[in-house]
Amino acid sequence: MPHFQIVFLRFFKVIAYSFCAFYLALSLHGCAAGKQGLLSITPQQYFYSAKEKLESIDERNYGVTELDEIVRILESGEKDAKSGEIIDKSRLYLTLVHTLKARKQYFSNRLKGQYIANRAEPFYFLDVKPVLETLRTAKKWLRACEAAFKTKSLSADFELVKAM
């Protein structure tokens, strides 16, 4: 076979393979259109996924990024939920996760304090702005719980979160 025919056959195979891959991707593209397909996730699944992640966090070795992921999942579940119980649980967990995140930020910032001298007594300056912002967000979720709390069976949990 001449060299030209070999190159042409390889080029044709690449084009045919690309066309098949494009057609397959195009035909599978509409699976979750409108969240009616196989990939739709219910707010309960969001909540229980976040709850499982929160319960599996190691008490000492967790990062702020893990908590941010849990917050994102809980916010998605709270936004899509229609059940009052899931909304209340998500808001309570959002308050708790933001409080835990603020604690982690404070302890990690405590090690990064800046030593300021040239004063009568030297002291360390801590940057607590991210901690205060996280606590402000936790307070926002707590106010959202107080404004529209509907689930009577969670009232003891709500009082515990308010006390924190």
Averages of pLDDT over runs of 10 residues in the chain (164 residues) are 69 71 61 51 81 78 85 85 80 87 85 68 73 89 78 64 65
Residue-range domain boundaries for the chain: 40-163
Listing DSSP states for 115-150 in one string gives: EE-SSSS-EEE---HHHHHHHHHHHHHHHHHHHT--
DSSP 8-state class, residue 113: P
CA distance 88 to 146: 10
The per-residue pLDDT for 133 is: 92
Which tens digits make up the pLDDT trace of 32-41? 444 454 457 7
DSSP string, 66-99: HHHHHHHHHHHHHHH--SHHHHHHHHHHHHHHHH
